[in-house]
Amino acid sequence: MATEFTKFPELPLELQRKIWRFCAMEDRVMEFDCPDSEDSSTKCIMKLTSHANAQQPAYSLVCHEARDAALKDGGHLWNLHKLWKAKGFEQKPDWEEDPCLLRNPWFNPGKDILHLNWEPDHADCWALSDDGSPHRTLIAYAKMARGGSFMAALVHRFRKIPTGLGLDVHWFLTEPRIHDTKRNFPLIQQMNGFKVCLTVMIIHATAKQVVDAQLFGSAAAPVQLVDTSDRETIRRMYDLWLTTFLDDAKLKDPEPEGRFEEMILTPDDFEARVCKWHEGYECNWLWYKWSQKYRLGTLNSIDSPGDVWIEPDRSHIALPNMGPYPPDRWVRGQELNRAHPWVQSILDEMPRFHPVIMFRFCEAKCHDRVIVPYDPST
């Protein structure tokens, strides 16, 4: 089979441009921001992958026709914003001085999915205002793209709880906690159909290994969003990770091992944990709607409000005299009564998301880094 098309330069220029347009990646992930560099759960310098992912596509640098084709469909984000602003689009592609914000990433609206790495903990760490600006930016630009994606912590954290914990600690870590998420929910209503990233998996490999595995767009798309139910692609990612140390165990990056083992060896357990996450999101959403009614004084519009929660006698949540605001934490033994008509109506209208895993390809040897423990005395 021929691997060269020597007559290509002789084609009409307009036809060349049309052919070059087929080089644009489908469902490429465009990040607004880098994952927080203060995330201590990984040694990876994740901004390296984000900056590589934000670059102008390599094919656009081949010739004038390729560049014209790329610019016909996309461009650097701020350049596109200037064009759209002239047509009445006001939303700027940024928010306050966020150190993780990517300044001018490449954006192809017809092909890209927009992803927001921002999380509530990030705002707290950097003393950023939590006014919803990142959410509004994502929503506005996702309407022009092929949809949006955000981190699970905006609605309910995806956690794997260690075994051997006491009952109180286990309950504290597993129960939905509305105070972590309620401030995000007014805008979450506008994100129906978005992808939600439950966890991030980083694979440190060489570009050749990635190309040979035919993953990450042959290294051209180093950030990928994979459905949690896509066992075939998850297996291929696992196989890629294995090849990175197959010939030398010293090259092994141990960080992804535990999560890969769960996804590969016990996939049903992993899917059960995804379902459990969704139940937690449902609880948080219902609590948010319940809180709204309480603050507006309209709980009496619900038929039998005391029956919204199972075992109301053990909890003060369903009672009308519970103080100025519903409590921000869950009470042990409290469960949703899914047979209640109001609960059913709220859950039927709840925004639906597609749970995904983010896979990131990093060519740097971050896992070999020696991180010096912080010494407050210095």
Supply the pLDDT for residue 174.
Answer: 53
Supply the pLDDT for residue 159.
Answer: 83
Supply the pLDDT for residue 227.
Answer: 98
Q: Say if 204 falls within a structural domain.
A: yes
Please state the domain count of the chain. 1
Supply the pLDDT for residue 291.
Answer: 82
- What is the distance between the alpha carbons of residues 263 and 269, in angstroms, rounded to a whole number? 8
Q: Say if 320 falls within a structural domain.
A: no
Supply the pLDDT for residue 321.
Answer: 34
Q: Say if 251 falls within a structural domain.
A: no
* Residue closest to 156 by CA, chosen among 287, 51, 47, 247: 287
Cβ atoms of residues 106 and 55 within 8 Å: yes
Q: Say if 71 falls within a structural domain.
A: yes
Supply the pLDDT for residue 315.
Answer: 43
Domain, as residue range, for 71: 19-158+181-234+358-368
Supply the pLDDT for residue 320.
Answer: 40
Q: Within 13 Å and on the Cβ side, how many CA atoms surround 243? A: 15
Q: Say if 109 falls within a structural domain.
A: yes
- Enumerate the H helices of the chain as residue ranges: 13-21, 47-53, 64-73, 77-85, 120-125, 133-142, 167-174, 185-188, 207-213, 231-243, 257-265, 267-296, 341-349
- What is the distance between the alpha carbons of residues 269 and 169, in angstroms, rounded to a whole number? 21
Give the pTM: 0.88
Q: Within 13 Å and on the Cβ side, how many CA atoms surround 3? A: 0
Supply the pLDDT for residue 326.
Answer: 53
Q: Say if 223 falls within a structural domain.
A: yes
- What is the distance between the alpha carbons of residues 80 and 131, in angstroms, rounded to a whole number? 25
Cβ atoms of residues 150 and 157 within 8 Å: no
Supply the pLDDT for residue 311.
Answer: 63
* Residue closest to 182 by CA, chosen among 296, 270, 285: 285
Supply the pLDDT for residue 323.
Answer: 34
Supply the pLDDT for residue 237.
Answer: 98
Per-residue pLDDT tens, the chain, 378 aa: give them. 456 778 888 899 999 999 999 999 999 999 999 998 766 678 899 999 999 999 999 999 999 999 999 999 999 999 999 999 999 998 999 887 888 999 999 999 999 999 999 988 887 777 777 677 899 999 999 999 999 999 999 999 898 766 665 545 544 555 555 665 667 888 899 999 999 999 999 999 999 999 999 999 988 999 999 999 999 999 999 999 999 998 888 889 999 999 999 999 999 999 999 999 999 899 889 888 888 888 888 988 999 887 887 764 444 444 443 333 455 444 445 677 889 999 999 999 999 999 999 999 999 988 887 665 555 555
- 3-state secondary structure at position 153: helix
Q: Say if 132 falls within a structural domain.
A: yes
Cβ atoms of residues 138 and 116 within 8 Å: yes
Q: Say if 36 falls within a structural domain.
A: yes
